[in-house]
Amino acid sequence: MRFSRVFTLLSLLMSQASFAESQWRTPQSENLVYLQLESGTVIIELAPFMAPKHVSQFKALIAEGFYDGLDFYRVIDGFVAQAGDVSEQKPSINKALLNPEFSRPTPATSDFMLVQSPDFIAPQTGYIQGFAAGRDPQAKQEWLLHCPGAVAFARDVDANSATTEFYIVIGQATRHLDRNMTTLGRVIYGMPTVQALNRAHINNTSGVIEDASKRSKILWAKLAKDVSPKEQLNIQVQQQDSDQVKQRLSSAKTLNNAFFHFKGNGNLDLCYYQLKSRLVE
């Protein structure tokens, strides 16, 4: 069993660190969405600080049961899994056209935690409230990164055309979508379930699965408060400024471990260093 000793050591360090409860946070219940798929449960943490109107509409749609029985109709391996009402005909009082929330002006007291500057796509990358984020100090803008697990609203060519459909990034970070799409959350539990979603055929470049019977279904989507106690999961996410996160980032920059013979150049791809989750059972 090779290529694991070094990681076992890291794991020990991490599990010791985890004794300190301050290393982990429990997301606010009102920011959690449960997606029940046929193959498992997915939990999304919403980011109202970045996309308040999209979050509000998403929550209203979920509360009315809009997504129940809909499916992931456009799934391209290495790119995104897109879900919702492919017909765009399903009625709802909550499907207003949304103005874009691609980024936000940097607040006077931003809790952005800088990790990498410059990043190869953004002037700066780091974390905001536990989410992988970008920042442009010149433009005084902040946004969420399209890392694996990012949840964003789909739209048409017009920036203000998003209404109900959403996608989850399942491949290498689709960073060209940063500041072009409204990212409103990220998957904090169940990415293996998302990764197991049925894909479009390899030759189908549009990615739309035409045969509806081959699409993975959303049995239901609920706000955490509407999920029965026995279906609730006690999921926690690393604190962005915890010792274990700082130690991981520091080790990642120097690769100061005998396992690594080439020590890198000190740069980090933040999408690889997203904050981890754990279940408390």
Task: Work out how close the CB of 252 gets to its own copies at its nearest, in angstroms, rounded to a whole number.
Answer: 7
Query: Which residue, 31 or 163, is less far from its own copies as judged by CB?
Result: 163
Query: Which residue, 60 or 255, is less far from its own copies as judged by CB?
Result: 255
Q: What does residue 276 show for φ and ψ, rounded to 5 degrees? A: -85, 160
Task: Work out how close the CB of 109 gets to its own copies at its nearest, in angstroms, rounded to a whole number.
Answer: 25
Query: Which residue, 113 or 159, is less far from its own copies as judged by CB?
Result: 159
Query: Which residue, 28 or 267, is less far from its own copies as judged by CB?
Result: 267
Q: Which residues contact 83 (CB under 8 A, 6 or more apart)?
A: 67, 70, 71, 72, 73, 165, 166, 167, 168, 218
Task: Work out how close the CB of 274 gets to its own copies at its nearest, in angstroms, rounded to a whole number.
Answer: 8
Give dist(CA 134, CA 263) in Å, integer.
Answer: 25
Which residue type sits at 89? Q
- Which residue's entry shows tokens 């290495």? 78
Task: Work out how close the CB of 80 gets to its own copies at its nearest, in angstroms, rounded to a whole number.
Answer: 8
Query: Which residue, 63 or 208, is less far from its own copies as judged by CB?
Result: 208
Burial class (CB in 10 A: 0-12, 13-18, 19+), 49: middle
Q: Report cis status (omega within 30 of 0) of the bond before 229.
A: no
Task: Work out how close the CB of 126 gets to its own copies at its nearest, in angstroms, rounded to a whole number.
Answer: 15
